[in-house]
Amino acid sequence: MLYSDKVMDHFANPRNVGEIADADGVGEVGNAKCGDIMKMFLKIKDGKIEDVKFKTFGCGAAIATSSIATEMIKGKPIEEALKLTNKAVIEALDGLPPAKIHCSVLAEQAIKAAFADYYTKKGIDPEPFVGKIETDCHACDTH
């Protein structure tokens, strides 16, 4: 498995690891059977991502995609953070091996799941904002 220097950097020194006790939104995707679970914690203030933390059970790419995804949305307005795509995550990491693309999808979905929780807590239907959340990556189903 050939990882870029960026992936290795984020794996070796992951940013924003941890939990937020009074998070405004928490999302978890993936499952232990597949070997990947990502959990995202959001703190929102004045329409911006004031803080974001993650916890990930998974391979090097799973940890690196979670790490860089948190870095990409931290401090950003909600609207911008919601636009984060797995493609942008891949680009920011200077690429991922084909077998690891699903990790970037999980990172995008984990953030969206956290936003869904945020909207739901506020009594707002999250679907118009985050679309349908894939809590499983489904990579396992295609094989």
Q: Burial, 51: exposed, middle or buried (Cβ in 10 Å; 0-12, 13-18, 19+)?
A: middle
Rg of the chain (C-alpha set): 14
Binding mask 9-48 for other proteins (x = CB under 8 A): --xx-x--xx---------x---xxxxxxxx---------
Give the integer Cα–Cα distance in Å for 24 and 80.
Answer: 17
Please say which residue, 26 or 78, places its beta carbon nearer to other proteins.
Answer: 26
Please say which residue, 39 or 74, places its beta carbon nearer to other proteins.
Answer: 39
Q: Residues 75, 77, 80, 140: which binds other proteins (CB under 8 A)?
A: 140
Site for other proteins in 90-109 (CB under 8 A): 99-100
Residues with Cβ within 8 Å of 143's Cβ and at least 6 positions away in sequence, in order, are none
Q: Residues 20, 42, 44, 62: which binds other proteins (CB under 8 A)?
A: 62
Q: Which of 117, 40, 122, 125 is nearest to 74 (CA)?
A: 40
Q: Which of 63, 50, 43 is nearest to 3 (CA)?
A: 63
Please, what is the minimum distance in Å from the beta carbon of residue 133 to other proteins?
17
Please, what is the minimum distance in Å from the beta carbon of residue 95 to other proteins?
17
Residues with Cβ within 8 Å of 1's Cβ and at least 6 positions away in sequence, in order, are 60, 97, 99, 100
So which residues are the catalytic ones? Answer: 34, 103
User: Residue numbers of the site for other proteins (CB under 8 A)?
Assistant: 1, 8, 11-12, 14, 17-18, 28, 32-39, 54-63, 99-100, 139-140, 143
